[in-house]
Amino acid sequence: MARYTEAQCRLCRRETMKLYLKGDRCYSDKCAIERRNYPPGQHGQGRGKLSDYGVQLREKQKIKRIYGLVEKQFESYFEEAERRKGVTGTNFLILLERRLDNTAYRLGFANSRSQARQLVRHGHFLVNGKKVDIPSFLLRPGDRVAVAESSRTLQIIVESVAALPRRGVVAWLEIDASKFEGTFRALPAREEMNLPVQEQLVVEFYSK
Q: What percent of the chain has pLDDT over 70?
A: 77
- Name 33's Cβ contacts closer than 8 Å, sequence gap at least 6: 12, 13, 16, 17, 18
Angle formed at CA 108 by CA 97 and CA 168, multiple of 5 degrees: 85
Domain spanning 9-41+48-96+197-206: CATH 3.20.20.80:
no
* pLDDT higher than 50, residue 1: no
pLDDT score, position 162: 93
CATH says 100-186 is which class? Answer: alpha beta
Task: Compute the distance between CA of residue 172 and CA of residue 194 in angstroms, rounded to an integer.
Answer: 12
pLDDT of residue 117: 96
> Is 110 in contact with 104 (CB distance < 8 Å)?
yes
φ and ψ at 20, to 5 degrees? 55, 55
Full-model pTM = 0.79
* Closest alpha carbon to 26 in 110, 115, 116, 111: 111
DSSP code for 40: S
Q: Per-residue confidence at 18, pLDDT binned at 50, 70, 90? A: low
Q: Are 18 and 31 within 8 A, CB to CB?
A: yes
Domain with CATH 1.10.1050.10 in the chain: 9-41+48-96+197-206
- Cα 74-146-179 angle, rounded to 5 deg: 145
> Residues of CATH 3.10.290.10 domain(s) within the chain?
100-186
